[in-house]
Amino acid sequence: MKTLVTIIVLSVATVFSAQAQDTRKANKKATQTTQEQTQQNPAERAKAHTDRMTRDLNLSAEQSRKLLDRNTAYYSELNNMSSKDANERNSMMERASTKYDSDIKNILDDAQYEKYSTMKDDYMQNINNRGLDQAPTNKNMKRDDNMRK
């Protein structure tokens, strides 16, 4: 009887230990994924953003190509802002975002731009409500599986 109880206790302990290790590995992988995303160069970020928008807004090949060109320029511009002081960076970012939206409006049709605006507004609302460290959970926005590698 003692042997049976000992075997059961050891089995349960082994299962809990394995689960704890899996949780630690998952947490470590999530941290690494976040770090990889922030270390992407502007071209990689532009490509990922374009792919998401192409999928979510159902863009044509021509629209996708134009958007990739615009996103590449936009992310390069944002990358160059990192060396500026906070006030200058904020004003530059506001101007860049306004120009970006204007350019996007010329690439998308009216229905696509309306959906883009809604997704953007929801994204900004989620950031303001949750803080910068949490991802948005908008039903219109799909996670990019490439970003989870």
Instruction: Show me where the domains of the chain are located.
Output: 42-129+140-148
Query: What whole-number distance in Å separates Cα of residue 64 and Cα of residue 46?
Result: 11
pLDDT tens readout for residues 55-93: 999 999 999 999 999 999 999 888 888 777 888 888 888
What is the reported pLDDT for 123? 86
Res. 28 pLDDT band, cuts 50 70 90: low
For all residues of the chain together, what is the average pLDDT?
Answer: 79
Tell if the pTM clears 0.85, that is, is over it.
no
What is the reported pLDDT for 46? 92
Provide, rounded to the nearest whole percent, the portion of the chain with pLDDT above 90: 36
* Token duo for residue 115: 């959906």
